[in-house]
Amino acid sequence: MEDILKKAEQARESLIPSKSEAVYQKEYKIYLDWLTRKNVMPKDVTETVFLAYFSRTGKEFSMFFGRFGSNCVYSFQSETYSPNSLWTKWSMLKSMVTIHEKRDITKFNELQAFLKRKSKSYKPKKSAVLSPKDVIRFLKDAPNDIHLLHKVVLIMGYFGECRSQELLNVKISDIEDRDSFMVVNVPESKTGGSKKFTVVDEKEFSALPLLRLYMSLRPKGIERFFLSFRQNKCTSQPIGKIAAKIPSKIAKCI
């Protein structure tokens, strides 16, 4: 029986994506702190308590979390967050409550009805999209001494349809130059497996010379492919979350 319970606990823990564990833990802590303030024990939480939690006011949270500073005020109320964000928070709490409290909140029909009603008239904001002409103009006209890194990220994202985190996982050893084209191996994609794609020179722009120029400016001995780029040379510092901001920098340059 002890072995069975151990395996069951491991199965429950697998409900949380390893990459997002810190976010899940943070969300659950905020929930527990709110219960403590309301003098409610986790075992006594009902659907009514969850409804109050998801519809609380920003003023209440400012008073509670203000001690962390103005930049750390949590206001996860339904009036502030988009329906998509509320559903995400519900999903995280669902997993954490299942693991730590052995309870199933998917049976709280009123709570789900409340979240669905919030989604009914919601119109999400659409991000602006770079057109093919914008991409070509940037690759051709933007100065390499400033924007070479941005160009390489754009090329890799274009040919490989890669997310920023997928690009950050690429190492220099994952790129094979075969003269007329390059083969890029993405070691870890969103689905968990690896994928490959090729980069070639298009009729409208030449991608390979830009990749080769960037590779020639990289310091040797560093595995991560994408490194910070300053004053027409690469540093030894790998880029991180800043990769997600590169599209906006490209848009400002166009």
Read off the tokens for 146: 């400033």
Question: Tokens 């040797």 belong to which residue?
Answer: 220
pLDDT of residue 199: 95
Read off the tokens for 217: 């400016």
For 159-201, how does the pLDDT look when each residue is reduced to its tens digit (9 = 90+)? Answer: 988 888 888 889 999 999 999 999 999 887 666 677 899 999 9
The CATH fold of domain 132-253: hpI Integrase; Chain A (1.10.443)
Q: What mean pLDDT value characterizes the chain? A: 81
**Residue in 74, 76, 77, 81 with CA at minimum distance from that of residue 122:** 81
Read off the tokens for 93: 């709490």
Residue with more model confidence, 101 or 83:
101
Cα distance between the two ends of the chain: 64
- Separation CA 151–CA 147 (nearest Å): 6
Whether this prediction's pTM lies above 0.75 is answered by no
> Domain limits of the chain?
8-120, 132-253
- Separation CA 72–CA 67 (nearest Å): 9
pLDDT of residue 117: 82
pLDDT of residue 79: 54
Read off the tokens for 240: 């991180």
- Separation CA 65–CA 90 (nearest Å): 20
**184 Cβ partners below 8 Å, 6+ apart?**
156, 159, 160, 170, 174, 175, 176, 196, 197, 198, 199
Q: 3-class SS at 236?
A: strand
**Residue in 93, 12, 2, 84 with CA at minimum distance from that of residue 50:** 93
Cα dihedral 159→165→169→174 (10° resolution): 0
3-state secondary structure 159-217: HHCCCHHHHHCCEHHHEEECCCCEEEEECCCCCCCCEEEEECCCCCCCCHHHHHHHHHC
Residue with more model confidence, 200 or 82:
200
- Separation CA 57–CA 34 (nearest Å): 12
Asked if 254 and 150 count as a contact pair (C-beta separation under 8 A), the reply is no
Confidence category of residue 214, pLDDT binned at 50, 70, 90: very high
Q: Name the strand (E) or helix (H) holding 238.
A: strand 233-238
Cα dihedral 182→188→192→195 (10° resolution): 0
Phi, psi of 236 (to 5 degrees): -90, 5
How confident is the model over 42-58, as a mean pLDDT? 83
Residue with more model confidence, 120 or 53:
53
CA atoms within 13 A on the CB side of 13: 7
For 86-136, how does the pLDDT look when each residue is reduced to its tens digit (9 = 90+)? Answer: 888 888 999 899 888 888 888 899 888 888 887 776 666 666 677 888 888
